[in-house]
Structure 1
Amino acid sequence: MMQHRNTDPRIGLILFCFFVAGGIVVGRVVYLQFVEGTRLTTLIEQGVQAVIDVQPRRGSIYNNRGQEIALSVLRDSIYARASEVKDPVATARLLAEILDEDDFPTYLRRLRSRKGFVWIKRQISPEESDRLDRFIGDERLAGVERISEYQRVYPHGQLLAHILGFTNIDSTGIEGLERRYDSCLAGKAEQHVVARDARGVKIFREEQIDSIEPTYGCDLVLTIDQEIQYQAEEALRRQVEATDAKGGVAIVADPNTGRILAMANQPAFDPNDFSHFPPESYRNRSITDNYEPGSTFKTILVAAAIEKGIVTPEDRFFCENGRYRFARRTIHDAHPHGELTVSDIIKFSSNIGVTKIAQRLGPEEFFEFIRAFGFGTPTGIDLGAEAQGLLRPQEKWAEIDLATHAFGQGISVTPLQLLMAYCAVANGGKLLRPFVVAEIRDHNGHILEAHYPKVVRRVISERTAQSITKMLEGVVDRRGTGRRAAIPGYRVAGKTGTAQKVEPGGRGYSPTARVASFVGFAPAQTPRLAALVVIDEPQGPQHSKYGGVVAAPVWREIMEMSLRHLGILPTRQEEEAPAKKEPESPQFSGL
């Protein structure tokens, strides 16, 4: 007879527990592997790895002859691992001897920082780097290291400063082209994964970083002619200083393409050391400042009237012997005139004459042409921060505005807007978009983008443009207000302007403050260059503040040099008569 053994129930319980525990372990493994695997892998990598950005070399900027005018160079930057500095006082004293700024308190404060990483000084000079080399191995520099990074350099100092702008210490564009094309110039940093030790300190060798290939920044090739730019800046600077003026602008352009060849501003600054100049000096007044154009705006009115068939150059107007009542105000001329032709109204800059032409044209037609010539809207130049001028809607004009706008008061323009309007006259009637960047290239020199002349619209016919050009030539002859702009051997067309400045707060016009200007082009028969000079608030006797006196000579100096520089030879041989005394500026009582 068989005997049955009783199984110990504890054994079954143990086996059951093993099976349950095994199931839990297997389940957890499956969960961690397939459900949480990606997240945990990321956490592990974050714990032992770090990502650093390797900045590329910022693209260079070239003038129209291919010479670098803004570039990036490698400079040493000094940092410290403060926790590894054994004697902060001794280290700070040595750094004060090595570096140009003897700033012992600042260095000591940084070395005593609780941070693991502190900058001592970035982008030190080559001379400072040489002095640092002499102390390699000195125990006082334990914990002090250096790395190389790019510093933006402008080799010509103040030259072209308002066009180029500048970057901050991290090579981010702040002003000018540097800001406008920042993303293009900067390129794209390359991210690189490096190991970290248990304390979180990044571990990498310099050869790791050198081997990384970031996306380099693009290069810009400008339309700027550096010789013309230099001459424009120098001529403008001398006149602003000589007249103790508040500031000034000089622009030179190709009227047939819209290419800007020079754009000078005063006051100036050095982009290599911009922090030592007042921020208002950074402003590119050529595109940011609005001013009342004065008599230079008379050309716009007459062009509109001729284009619409309202007047001809030979039509005559009675100029009231210097005093004319209009819209309950009195308009004055500098000298009393009887009858003048339209051509002579421009030549002698008669305010009464243009007022009567404006009455014939009417406010609606006048406003239409003001807009067509580009006023009241930005020119679209590739610089950024461009003002649009001040042009009130025509329906909001008062009756007197028809007259004041005709001689350039009550309306504000930028210097570039006015120059481009005169370029339209010079090229036969087409308003062009101005530009300063001719090409964008990659770091190997391949063209990525090329900029070409762009016609915004036709404003006037070629016939009208020719008629206006002939009138503007009369302004520069021996009896005209612009005779000081005449260049021997060349036919010159241009117009003077002298505008009263509005008092601060808009409380009427200043009795003394003026903006003097001259704008024109040459050679008049086949224009190759157009230029504008504006002098803001020249000081001295009233007769010395007018456009024909203070701005026209600067224009002549810049234009004469530019014509010869470009090989545009004289077409006639004649001596100009000595300049006569400039007539006094008109006064506008009650305006």
Structure 2
Amino acid sequence: MRRFPGFHWIIILLCFFPLFIRLYLLHFNPDPRVISQAKSQYWARITVSTTRGTVEDTNGIPLALSSPAISFFIDPAVWDPANAKLLKPYVSNERYARLQTKLPGRYFSVARKVDTKKAEEIIALKIPGLFYIKETNRVYPQGQTLSHVLGFCDIDEKGLAGLELSWDHLLYSPPQSRIFAKDASGNIVDISPGDGLGASSETGVLRLTIDSRFQHIVEKRVADAFGKHKAEWAAAIMVDPLSGEIQAMCSMPDFDPNRRETFAQQEALLNNAIGRVYEPGSTFKPVIAGIALSNGITNARERFDCKGKIRIADVVIHDITSHGKLDFPGLLIESCNVGMASIGNRMDPHLTYSSLKQWGFGSPLGVGLPGEEVGLLNPPDQWRGSVPANIAIGQGLGVTPLQMTMALSAVINGGHVMKPYIVREALSSDGKIVYKGNPEKLFTVLSDKTSEYLKGVLEQVVTKGTGRTAFLGNPRVGGKTGTAQVAQGGVYLKKTYVSSFVGFWPVERPRHLLFVAIGHPRGGEYLGGRVAAPVFRKILEDVLKINS
């Protein structure tokens, strides 16, 4: 094998030496033209949100959907901080301060998901080094309507509250990592494989049992009462008592899921319909009446001497006024504490406790919404002294508006505690039903005969008792008032109440049951018959106009 002489290698190295020198200079002292050309070859990998599934009411009206949005960013390599002043009206103070400085890297987010009008204004400025990409933004077309039920998402459309959270597995599609580059004209283009921001194949449609027509009515009337009485909170639930299907649900104060700044108001984020625990007062009496009748502790013919007060153990239980001699229906019609307390005091604590558990108290009902509270129902071995009597008049235990709604539904629907449900069906992206809500009986707590009897008594509460302000005439309406003094630290507060009313119609075969609670009303009126019952009547009148 021939070998090159040594001087041949020297000649080869001399030939390549100028090239080595040129590469060295380009690396440590590049030509400005090369820098300019490199900057023009911009590319970046950016994570963008994809289309989230839609939420609809029972009639197909959109309640939550994703709409096109524009996000802006800069390439710091070509960004002139002097142009920051042009963006000041459109960005946060923190972002504005950063834009006035020399930033590292090739990508800096300026504003995410800007609405169309503002985005068009920014684009029209034609600021060098500022670019935009298309994303999607979660919007709630009906504003604050049903805000607690729907919940909200984060900036990347990940569910954080309400149905958006509990059904995130169906509605959410993870953000996509996309690659963007400049074309020959300096425009930013998506060069990623696939179809970019098209609808994700992973998301579906959630169709609710909520009827937007009823929802708007309930929210309007409850909001009016909430403001009129300067209340701390309010809640209302409309349900089909035969199926457990929730037709409307509202909570006050509320918030606008389209405005993230309202999320800081923690008291507004609580869904009082499922998360507020309070002592129910007299709306609880039909439940105790049902248990007492079913177990032979009293009967429809028993008479009670309601003198206005009764001492049980170390407590004196009062009525607003003396009712004199009352039969059993009269206890509910006049909402007599003395008579109901005497019945409660005769009931075995273990029987009452086990019965109340079957009625849905002290346990979650499984409505499928985050934040559902179980209430407070102490075990019977803690029921000493006047506790059984207090529970019979709705004191000494904690319930939620949802628990009261479903319990009172059982009183008038034949005695069945129905599982409440708010999702009618869930559809996958290809339209297949992957979930369907159906009526489900949790327990049967009354006979048909007892339920029918109590339904008639509750109609008399409206026609001639404490619920007369809910009377309409046609359709026939039944209901029960409640005025519960608020306890704090083991002491009942003066002039602090929860005013409530539960009503149903038509009496012959109820298809709507509406529970209304106004928490801590101020300004004089506090009785359930004067604060909550009129709200029920106004809602009923409005609903009848729709149904007609």
Paired residues of 1:57 and 1:150 also in contact (CA < 8 A)? yes
- Are 2:98 and 1:109 equivalent residues in the alignment? yes
Paired residues of 1:252 and 1:531 also in contact (CA < 8 A)? yes
State the one-letter code of the partner of 2:258. Answer: N
Q: Which residue of 2 aligns with 1:29?
A: none
- Are 2:470 and 1:485 equivalent residues in the alignment? yes
- Are 2:534 and 1:534 equivalent residues in the alignment? no
Pick which of 526-535 and 172-181 moved more.
Answer: 172-181
- Are 2:260 and 1:306 equivalent residues in the alignment? no
Q: Could you tell me how far apart the structure 2 residues matched to 1:191 and 1:129 are?
A: 22
Q: Could you tell me how far apart the structure 1 residues matched to 2:155 and 2:177 are?
A: 20
Q: Which residue of 1 aligns with 2:125?
A: 135
Structural mapping, 1:180-191, within 5 Å = 180-188=166-174
Q: Which residue of 2 aligns with 1:295?
A: 282
Q: Which residue of 2 aligns with 1:354?
A: 340
- Are 2:504 and 1:521 equivalent residues in the alignment? yes
Q: Which residue of 2 aligns with 1:279?
A: 266
State the one-letter code of the partner of 1:237. Answer: A
Pick which of 518-527 and 50-59 moved more.
Answer: 50-59
Q: Which residue of 2 aligns with 1:66?
A: 60
- Residues 409, 52 of structure 1: alpha-carbon distance in 2 compared, 3 angstrom cutoff: same
Deviation sequence 1:53-79 (CA, Å, 0-9, x none):
664310011011001111101111001
Q: Could you tell me how far apart the structure 1 residues matched to 2:458 and 2:145 are?
A: 32
Q: Which residue of 2 aligns with 1:269?
A: 255
Q: Which residue of 2 aligns with 1:512?
A: 495
Residue 96 of structure 1 deviates from its aligned partner by: 2.3
Paired residue secondary structure (1:83): coil
Paired residues of 2:50 and 2:197 also in contact (CA < 8 A)? no
Match of 2:113 among 120, 123, 143: 123
State the one-letter code of the partner of 1:107. Answer: Y
Deviation sequence 1:454-501 (CA, Å, 0-9, x none):
1111111111111111111111113x0011111221221111000111
- Are 2:357 and 1:371 equivalent residues in the alignment? yes
Residue 113 of structure 1 deviates from its aligned partner by: 2.6
Paired residues of 1:323 and 1:352 also in contact (CA < 8 A)? yes
Paired residue secondary structure (1:565): helix
- Are 2:77 and 1:83 equivalent residues in the alignment? yes
Match of 2:452 among 466, 472, 478: 466
Residue 145 of structure 1 deviates from its aligned partner by: 1.4
Paired residues of 2:57 and 2:210 also in contact (CA < 8 A)? yes
Q: Could you tell me how far apart the structure 1 residues matched to 2:536 and 2:209 are?
A: 20
Q: Which residue of 2 aligns with 1:18?
A: none
Q: Could you tell me how far apart the structure 2 residues matched to 1:284 and 1:130 are?
A: 37
Match of 2:374 among 384, 388, 403: 388
Give the alignment's TM-score, normalised by structure 1: 0.80
- Are 2:544 and 1:555 equivalent residues in the alignment? no
Paired residue secondary structure (1:130): helix
Residue 363 of structure 1 deviates from its aligned partner by: 1.7
Paired residue secondary structure (2:403): helix
Q: Which residue of 2 aligns with 1:316?
A: 303
Q: Which residue of 2 aligns with 1:495?
A: 480
Q: Which residue of 2 aligns with 1:433?
A: 419
Q: Which residue of 2 aligns with 1:34?
A: none
Q: Could you tell me how far apart the structure 2 residues matched to 1:293 and 1:395 are?
A: 22
Paired residue secondary structure (2:385): coil
Residue 314 of structure 1 deviates from its aligned partner by: 2.0
Q: Which residue of 2 aligns with 1:419?
A: 405
Paired residue secondary structure (1:325): strand
- Residues 105, 371 of structure 1: alpha-carbon distance in 2 compared, 3 angstrom cutoff: closer
Q: Could you tell me how far apart the structure 1 residues matched to 2:222 and 2:238 are?
A: 12
Q: Which residue of 1 aligns with 2:527?
A: 546
Structural mapping, 1:207-246, within 5 Å = 208-210=193-195, 214-246=200-232
Paired residue secondary structure (1:510): strand
Paired residues of 1:166 and 1:175 also in contact (CA < 8 A)? yes
Paired residue secondary structure (1:491): coil
Q: Could you tell me how far apart the structure 2 residues matched to 1:353 and 1:314 are?
A: 13
Paired residues of 2:499 and 2:527 also in contact (CA < 8 A)? yes
State the one-letter code of the partner of 1:468. Answer: L
Paired residues of 1:188 and 1:215 also in contact (CA < 8 A)? no
Deviation sequence 1:366-421 (CA, Å, 0-9, x none):
11221111000011001121000001001111221011100011111000000000
- Residues 559, 107 of structure 1: alpha-carbon distance in 2 compared, 3 angstrom cutoff: same
Paired residue secondary structure (2:258): helix
Paired residues of 1:57 and 1:216 also in contact (CA < 8 A)? no
Q: Could you tell me how far apart the structure 1 residues matched to 2:262 and 2:436 are?
A: 36
Q: Unaligned 5+ residue runs, structure 2?
A: 1-42, 182-187
Match of 1:158 among 128, 138, 144: 144
Paired residues of 1:75 and 1:125 also in contact (CA < 8 A)? yes
Paired residues of 2:135 and 2:197 also in contact (CA < 8 A)? no
Q: Which residue of 2 aligns with 1:326?
A: 312
Q: Which residue of 1 aligns with 2:4?
A: none
Paired residues of 1:60 and 1:218 also in contact (CA < 8 A)? yes
**How many pairs align?**
498
Give the alignment's TM-score, normalised by structure 2: 0.86
Paired residue secondary structure (1:174): coil
Deviation sequence 1:31-67 (CA, Å, 0-9, x none):
xxxxxxxxxxxxxxxxxx9987664310011011001
State the one-letter code of the partner of 1:328. Answer: D
Paired residues of 1:475 and 1:495 also in contact (CA < 8 A)? yes
Q: Which residue of 2 aligns with 1:39?
A: none
- Are 2:51 and 1:57 equivalent residues in the alignment? yes
Q: Could you tell me how far apart the structure 1 residues matched to 2:510 and 2:298 are?
A: 25
Q: Unaligned 5+ residue runs, structure 1?
A: 1-48, 197-202, 568-591
